[in-house]
């Protein structure tokens, strides 16, 4: 855990700009004594007489005694506050200059500027919330879809924390048994029989595998799926990109090969986010500029998770299409999700899904905006179950996923070690597994990881 903080921090917690109200928040041991220097309750009561968690009206004054605003103020006393420290919150009029002046008054009285996410970081340090719950707070603020909001809400409610605590305690209980076996092999200690230990380990593996699998959904909803739209020129890639992005950012043209550069865009696609790249088309060409585009397209494909391969079904399938087919076959074998889009279905079509055995295909007309058809098809490949109404724990970011993967791999090694290598090696592997899962919730985590997470917050949260 971190050392407690000596400074009292202050920041404007509402966004920069004009608004009906703004919220200025202060947190720290000295928050109340600092507040008393520039906040004057209309009731004339001293701060020690004012109850926690009740709103009161007060004059906010500058260091030279001028009234800056009449505001509503609330005191939350430690440890019953968001950060676990004393907190004073000022709800004032939402003017840019006014909030800056009130903040300056707080600084003159002894507070210091809060860094990004510092309030939540203090809450984490005080054990008010786990690291995954803090990440859910960011998720709530950043949510672009109702699905990501639902996952963040579930994260804040602590379901993932409870699940990982359970796994941690299951692992440590097996560790205890293994070490008892090693240290006192002949004693009739009350311990799990070996069979029970095996089945406890199997149970842990099952839980971890289901958490691991949940990341496919959590990643698609919260982080976005790196996606490539590929196909030979003029098949309708830019039109599809525009349809998804709902604007005209990519160039749509009849001249083959004009989308020469890779364009990136994050779009909401039903319940998932796509991190899109439109590619120049996978076509061998002598044109140097076009070639650069083609090389980059191939690279983009390697870095993507979802490939939307677009074919123009109104023109005969030719060798260029064949080249694209070859590439997506390779991509599919390497585990990418490939969706073949049979575009221009509004025209007379000359080929169809019969050429794409083994692939998922979707026939559509991008010109007639079939975003929902495409969104449903993509969503069904990444989301299992009803996100908004289910209460299953879902991993929502790469950090959590990597902790679960390393925990799982250590538990599997421990299982093998028990059978073939010996209990002491199994014990070491299980300790590694316990550390990995403890990292997920921040029980054992480096300062760098924590810094990284809280820097994603805005100032004032
Ligand atoms: P790209 O080179 O693959 O990016 O192709 P574009 O998106 O630039 O489209 C090439 C041409 O095909 C444009 O004139 C589009 O309007 C047209 N197009 C795209 N999708 C459809 C479709 O579903 N139906 C029809 N009829 N035309 C389309």
Q: How far is the CA of 168 from the centre of ligand 1 (A)?
A: 54
| Chain centre to alpha carbon of residue 115 | 21
Closest Cα to residue 389, out of 153, 173, 132, 181? 153
Question: Is 270 a pocket residue for ligand 1 (Cβ < 6 Å)?
Answer: no
The phi and psi torsions of 92 (rounded to 5 degrees) equal: -120, 180
The C-alpha atoms of residue 71 and residue 102 are separated, in whole angstroms, by 10
User: Does residue 257 line the site of ligand 1, with CB under 6 A?
Assistant: no
Strand 360-363 vs strand 337-343: parallel, antiparallel, or unpaired? Answer: parallel
Q: Which of 230, 240, 252 to mutate to test the pocket of ligand 1 (most atoms within 8 A of CB)?
A: 252
Q: Which atom of ligand 1 is nearest to the CA of 278?
A: 4
- Helical (H) or strand (E) element with 142: helix 131-142
CA of 237 to the centre of ligand 1 (A): 7
Does the CB atom of residue 325 touch ligand 1 within 6 A? no
Please choose, from the candidates 79, 95, 92, 402, the residue with its C-alpha nearest in 3D space to the C-alpha of residue 219.
402
pLDDT, residue 141, reads 85
Residue 184 CB neighbour total at 10 angstroms: 11
**Which atom of ligand 1 is found nearest the CA of 232?**
3
235 Cβ inside 6 Å of ligand 1: yes
Q: How many CA within 13 A on the CB side of residue 143? A: 20
> Which numbered atom of ligand 1 lies nearest the CA of 239?
7
112-113 sheet: strands from edge to edge = 39-41, 55-61, 67-76, 87-94, 19-27, 9-12, 112-113
Contacts of 434 (CB under 8 A, 6+ apart): 168, 171, 172, 175, 407
> How close is the Cα of 10 to the center of ligand 1, in Å?
54
Kindly give the confidence (pLDDT) of every residue in the chain, 461 residues in length, as a single tens digit, with 9 standing for 90 and above.
Answer: 334 678 999 999 998 888 899 999 999 999 999 999 999 999 999 999 999 999 999 999 999 999 999 999 999 999 999 999 999 999 999 989 999 999 999 999 999 999 888 999 899 989 898 888 888 888 888 888 888 899 998 888 888 889 999 999 999 999 988 887 776 665 555 566 778 888 999 999 999 999 999 999 999 999 889 998 888 889 998 888 888 877 545 445 455 555 555 556 678 888 898 888 665 555 454 454 455 556 666 777 788 899 999 999 999 999 989 988 988 998 999 999 999 999 999 999 999 999 999 999 999 999 887 889 999 999 999 987 777 777 788 999 999 999 999 999 999 999 988 876 677 788 899 999 999 999 888 777 777 777 777 777 777 77
What was the pLDDT predicted at 76? 98
- Evaluate: CB of 313 within 6 angstroms of ligand 1: no
CA of 270 to the centre of ligand 1 (A): 23
Look up residue 353 and give its two tokens: 């899904």
Residue 242 has a pLDDT of: 82
Q: At 316, list the tokens.
A: 């005969």
């Amino acid at each position: 855990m971190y050392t407690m903080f000596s400074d009292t921090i202050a920041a404007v917690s509402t966004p920069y700009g004009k608004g009906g109200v703004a919220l200025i928040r202060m947190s720290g041991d000295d928050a109340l004594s600092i507040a008393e220097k520039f906040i004057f309750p209309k009731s004339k009561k001293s701060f020690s007489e004012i109850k926690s968690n009740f709103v009161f009206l007060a004059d906010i004054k500058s260091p030279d005694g001028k009234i800056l605003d009449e505001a509503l103020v609330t005191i939350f006393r430690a440890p019953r506050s968001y950060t676990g420290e004393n907190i004073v919150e000022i709800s004032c009029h939402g003017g840019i200059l006014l909030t800056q002046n009130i903040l300056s008054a707080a600084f003159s009285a002894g507070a210091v500027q809060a860094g990004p996410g510092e309030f939540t970081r203090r809450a984490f340090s005080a054990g008010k919330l786990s690291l995954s719950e803090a990440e859910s707070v960011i998720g709530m603020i950043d949510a672009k879809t109702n699905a990501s909001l639902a996952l963040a809400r579930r994260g804040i409610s602590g379901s993932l924390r409870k699940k990982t605590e359970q796994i941690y305690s299951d692992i440590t209980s097996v560790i205890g048994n293994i070490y008892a076996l090693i240290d006192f092999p002949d004693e009739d200690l009350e311990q799990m029989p070996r069979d029970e230990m095996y089945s406890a380990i199997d149970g842990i593996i099952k839980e971890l595998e289901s958490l691991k699998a949940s990341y496919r959904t959590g990643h698609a909803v919260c982080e976005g799926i790196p996606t490539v739209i590929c196909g030979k020129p003029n098949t309708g890639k830019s039109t599809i990109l525009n349809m998804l992005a709902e604007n005209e950012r990519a160039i749509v043209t009849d001249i083959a090969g004009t989308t020469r550069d890779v364009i990136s865009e994050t779009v909401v696609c039903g319940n998932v986010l796509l991190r899109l790249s439109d590619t120049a088309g996978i076509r061998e060409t002598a044109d140097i500029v076009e070639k650069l585009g083609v090389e980059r397209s191939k690279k983009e494909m390697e870095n993507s998770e979802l490939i939307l391969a677009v074919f123009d079904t109104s023109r005969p399938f030719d060798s260029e299409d064949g080249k694209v087919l070859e590439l997506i076959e390779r991509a599919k074998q390497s585990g990418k999700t490939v969706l073949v889009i049979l575009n221009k279905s509004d025209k007379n079509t000359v080929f169809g899904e019969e050429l794409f055995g083994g692939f998922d295909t979707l026939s559509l007309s991008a010109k007639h905006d079939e975003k929902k058809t495409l969104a449903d098809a993509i969503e069904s490949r990444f989301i299992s179950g009803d996100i908004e109404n289910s209460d299953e724990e879902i991993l929502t970011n790469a950090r959590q996923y990597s902790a679960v993967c390393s925990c799982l791999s250590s538990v599997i090694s421990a299982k093998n070690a028990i059978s073939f290598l010996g209990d002491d090696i199994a014990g070491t592997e299980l300790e590694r597994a316990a550390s990995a899962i403890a990292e997920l919730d921040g029980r054992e985590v480096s300062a760098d990881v924590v810094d990284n997470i809280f820097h994603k917050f805005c100032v004032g949260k």
